[in-house]
Amino acid sequence: MSLIELDAITRTFTLGAATVNALRNITVAIEAGEYVAIMGASGSGKSTLLNLLGLLDHPDSGHYRLEGRDVTTLSADEQAALRRDRIGFVFQSFHLVPRLTAAENVALPLVLAGVAPELRRQRVAEALGKVGLSERADHRPDELSGGQRQRIAIARATIMRPAVLLADEPTGNLDRHTGAEVTELLEALNTAGATLIIVTHDPALGQRARRRLMMEDGVLSDERG
């Protein structure tokens, strides 16, 4: 059984009088522990595919199985719980809560899951240590650099020990040196066992992945490095 299985997935959007076929009959399987890049031009469907994998969007037809569960049949509450517990997100714009400290941002998924305060503190300290920001625990996002904010976002994304880590242009707002550091951190998480799926338009970042899913006009082709 694959970690992720998409079977004949389609997704269309209506823009004015036009119909956009964002995903056309997508069938693909991703195994636990893989490092996959989803690549393609703007408008090719790669972000739509990532949003669907992250249960932020829903297919018009087809089936999506995560860890053997057909998530397309789950209720909104069941999907929300699955998204919280089994899927980690890293976004280009970080999406940190400005008024919360780094530690409080990282703790948010644990709070939503009802984890006890003492265990939350232990897990947050561990997560901040892994991204090298233990000393920044009490700083708010506006007191951190872009690279530090992305590291905090990665700590938050992995705090629930998800089955899959989804990263949408994770280095897009960073300079080259900082972007390389963030890439190395994500790859270290993959080496440690996390399934890593990155959306990127950067060929250099895409070539680092062991497998590339190329999107063009909603159609997927599969490459392996």
- State phi, psi for 112 to the nearest 5 degrees: -65, -30
Q: What is the pLDDT of residue 164?
A: 96
Task: Please state the length of the chain.
Answer: 225
Give the pLDDT means over successive 10-residue stretches in the chain (225 positions).
95 88 95 95 90 94 95 93 92 91 96 94 94 95 94 93 93 88 92 94 90 94 76
Domain count, the chain: 1
Q: Which CATH number does the domain housing residue 202 bear?
A: 3.40.50.300
Range of the domain at 106: 4-224
User: Residue 117: what residue type?
Assistant: P
> What is the strand order of the sheet 18-30 is part of?
18-30, 4-15, 61-66, 69-70
Q: What is the pLDDT of residue 173?
A: 84
Model confidence, pTM: 0.92
